[in-house]
Structure 1
Amino acid sequence: MPSPPPRASRRAVLTGGTVVGAALLATAGCGVRQTEGSAGAAVLDTTAPAVDADTDLVEAVAGQLTTALDLAVATGAAVPALRPLSRRLASLHRAHLGELSRPDDDAGGKVKGSPETAKARLLRAEQKLQRELVQAALDAESGALAQVFASMAAAVAQELAVSG
């Protein structure tokens, strides 16, 4: 009986698979499109769309963050007992607006009611913002933007967890 052919080593299979995968990616034509009227000539498409769904999403999230920032600042100004919480939240929202390259100016505003009512209103607004950030992460077309929104949602959730 003839002996069976030698088996490929694990290292050879993995190396060969990597080389084949890289070759397929290189020839896949990422970013290359055929132009009309060209006989097989490929042209690299380097233009990005002027406005896309993620641009609108960033604007919407920036608006939500600005609203939350305004409430946090107004609550801290109106209720001295809530200043530490409102400062942490305002700082967080300013950092998030900075990440989105948006201005972090707050419009101010007035908060009325008892300290308990003001805290409950502030925490409800933060919970709403956290849900909106999660939804934005799900709606984002860009994976990197989805990660940014998910990170923001996690940061808000963490602040909510420690503020009780």
Structure 2
Amino acid sequence: MEYLIVDGYNVIGASKELAKIKEQSLEEARYLLQEALSEYSAFAERQVIIVYDAHLSKGNLKKSSLNNLRIDFTKEGVTADEYIEKLVTDYIRSGHKVYVATSDFLEQRVVFGKGALRISSRELWHEIEVMKRRVSEQLSEQPKKRAKLTGSINPEIARIFEKWRRK
């Protein structure tokens, strides 16, 4: 299995669209990132883990799931970078291919040294936009088919409906 570990706030800051939304509502920016990454995960066939830095907040690690995403808020005293490094170590040791999305240059070097592949936050956002265009194109190219009941209902019932229609 391939994993993509995303530094959530870093990607939000790197996307002009999300950074602007973040000025009004951080929660909305997180939601939009999560929606985009959920679609990306299905398209790219990678398990996506979004890590949000909560090291200045009181409390323990919080993990949740949304569609095909895992969302982790770090616990008090643990930065997103530290948490990402631990995840990379664990997944690489288990034999998985791991990508890390962050624009933090030092973090990119550290995770690369541990065996992960790195992608900048801007590159990831660009990949998401390209994926959305491809999906749109594929959907628009599919012929529009009318649903027909004839193959899925009892022939006797179909005959009765046909009689009613012709009256």
Establish whether TM, by shorter chain, passes 0.5.
no
When Rg is computed on C-alpha atoms for both structures, the one with the higher figure is 1
> Larger relative CO (CA 8 A, sep 6+): 1 or 2?
2
- Report which of the two has the higher share of helix: 1
TM-score under structure 1 length normalisation: 0.27
TM-score under structure 2 length normalisation: 0.27
- Report which of the two has the higher share of strand: 2
